[in-house]
Structures are given as structure tokens and as C-alpha cells.
């Protein structure tokens, strides 16, 4: 199964319902926020792995900590997400720009700003687990990660009705494509960290 398929499978009906209960939001808004968040998480990972050092660092993290087993115990992850690895993963992906990402997701989805952070803390280990499982099953090396993540970002962006709203907010060059703008925006957010 490919990365986007694995994520969609992991974040299907029951899981969305459990996540919405965990963060205290209604299911529709939670689902919208998940659809807005995934391209941001994937795009951030794609951006970070677009150079050799970042790719090696991500590959090492997958090798050490993210074999995909998190996907087999989503209940455990949800039950204790605040003590889990989500915060650390988000710090690696977004650095000091997490607040800007949260505002974008909140505006695009209607999810209360105070609930976006917890949602991202839940989603981050799921994304890393799916990435780790895909990397292992396809035998991908560090140099393959940016391409895999870039493709997944585009697929998730294209398939998400929330991206229409997000792209209107973020299609800065008015070319009708938010993917390049999301990547550039994430790059701009993270650029100071290189």
C-alpha cells in the first residue's frame, strides 16, 4: 500500500470519531481539520528531507523510532497523545513556525485554534508511522524520501476539499496551484532553521 492509501486507511471512520472525542470537537470539523493538516505535515517532511542532511536525519528517525507499529495501536496513541512523541515530531517538522501552521489549519477547517495543536500531536506519529511502514515495505533509502513525500503531499492536496479553502488563502502567486505555495510557505516558515 502506498503512503497516502495507508494514511487514508489509518484515518478512516472510527479513528476520526475517536480523534474528535479525544480533542472535544465534532466529527465533521475534525475530519476537515485532518484533511487540512495532512498536506502540511507531509509537505513539511518533504521540505525537510529535500537536502541530504535532512533526508539522512529523517531516515534515521524512521529507522530508530517509526516502524509503523503506532498504526496498530491507535487507541493507545489517542489515550496518551500528550505524553507521546507528537510534540517532538512537530518541533522537528515545523520548528518555531507551528503556530502559523495551526492558524492556517484552524482558518481552513473551522476547528477551534485550541484544538488544532492536540490534533497535530495525534496526527504526527500516525504520519511518521505510515511513512516508516511505507519506507520499509518499499525498501526506500534516504534519498527516496523527498520524492515520496512530495508525491504524497500533492495527492493529499488534490484529494482534499479543504485544500480549496487553504489554497485560496495560500495561492500567493495566483497560479491556481496551492501545492507549490504550500511547499514554498512551509519552506518560508522553516527557512530560518537551515
Query: Global pTM?
Result: 0.87
Picking from 5, 41, 71, 49, the residue whose alpha carbon sits closest to that of residue 141 is: 49
What is the overall mean pLDDT for the chain?
86
Q: In whole angstroms, how large is the CA radius of gyration of the chain?
A: 15
pLDDT at residue number 185: 57
Which residue is it, cell 490534533? 119
pLDDT at residue number 47: 85
pLDDT band at 194 (very low <50, low <70, confident <90, very high): very low
Q: Where are the domains of the chain?
A: 3-193
pLDDT digits (tens, 9 = 90+) for 137-193: 999 999 999 999 988 988 887 766 565 555 555 444 455 555 565 666 566 555 544
pLDDT at residue number 175: 54
- Within a 13 Å sphere around the CA of 42, how many CA atoms are in the beta-carbon half? 24
* CB-CB contact of 65 with 99 (8 Å): no
Q: Which residues of 159-169 are buried (b: 16+ CB within 10 A; e: fewer)?
A: ebebbebbbee
Amino acid at each position: 500500500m502506498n503512503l497516502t492509501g495507508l494514511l487514508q486507511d489509518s484515518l478512516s471512520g472510527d479513528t476520526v470519531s475517536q480523534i474528535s472525542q479525544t480533542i472535544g470537537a465534532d466529527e465533521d470539523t475534525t475530519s476537515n481539520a485532518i484533511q487540512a493538516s495532512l498536506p502540511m505535515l507531509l509537505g513539511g517532511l518533504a521540505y525537510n528531507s529535500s537536502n541530504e542532511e535532512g533526508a539522512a536525519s529523517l531516515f534515521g528517525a524512521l529507522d530508530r523510532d517509526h516502524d509503523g507499529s503506532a498504526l496498530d495501536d491507535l487507541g493507545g496513541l489517542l489515550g496518551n497523545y500528550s505524553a507521546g512523541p507528537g510534540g517532538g515530531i512537530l518541533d522537528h517538522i515545523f520548528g518555531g513556525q507551528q503556530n502559523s501552521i495551526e492558524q492556517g489549519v484552524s482558518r481552513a477547517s473551522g476547528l477551534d485554534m485550541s484544538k488544532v495543536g492536540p490534533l497535530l500531536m495525534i496526527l504526527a506519529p500516525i504520519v511518521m508511522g505510515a511513512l516508516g511502514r511505507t519506507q520499509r515495505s518499499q525498501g526506500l533509502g534516504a534519498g527516496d524520501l523527498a520524492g515520496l513525500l512530495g508525491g504524497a503531499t500533492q495527492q493529499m492536496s488534490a484529494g482534499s476539499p479543504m485544500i480549496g479553502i487553504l489554497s485560496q488563502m495560500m495561492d500567493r502567486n495566483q497560479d491556481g496551484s496551492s501545492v507549490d505555495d504550500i511547499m514554498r510557505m512551509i519552506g518560508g516558515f522553516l527557512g530560518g532553521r537551515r
